[in-house]
Amino acid sequence: MLYCSETILNWLKENNMFSSDCKYFIRNTLNGTVIDVDGNVNIAEQNLNEIPINFGHVWGDFDCSGNNLQSLNGSPVFVSGDFMCQRNNLASLENGPEIVNGAYICYENKLTRLQGIAKLIKKYIECALNPIESIDDNLNITL
């Protein structure tokens, strides 16, 4: 995980993680450095084992699909567009976003439950090709 503001900026620029017209805001919190992005974030197909930055709010889509993620640590808390985490090695959706104003796409992982999924999803959930055993009765999702 990257913590220093300068290191975060360098990593984002080197890896071309969002378009040049994106605006981003780095803030220091009690839990460390967090980046908010006004625009789409694309860290897909980067062979990542973890999300290397703590994202806060993303006003756009957040795509971390096609990596080797086993955890959603570092995911934004809020995504105004679609949240895409498909084709990883996720066994849990814990530490993912709490609010997704678009679709929540998590197909082709190792999910046996949807525990930890966002509390508010405005469009739909796509979770096919997971070994889901049951839908938790206590799952509280607003669609």
Degrees, nearest 5: CA angle 100-103-24 = 50
Cα–Cα distance measured from residue 97 to residue 11, given in angstroms and rounded to the nearest whole number: 22
Amino acid occupying residue 80:
S
Mean pLDDT, consecutive 10-residue stretches, the chain (143 aa), reads 68 71 83 89 93 94 97 97 98 97 97 92 94 71 59
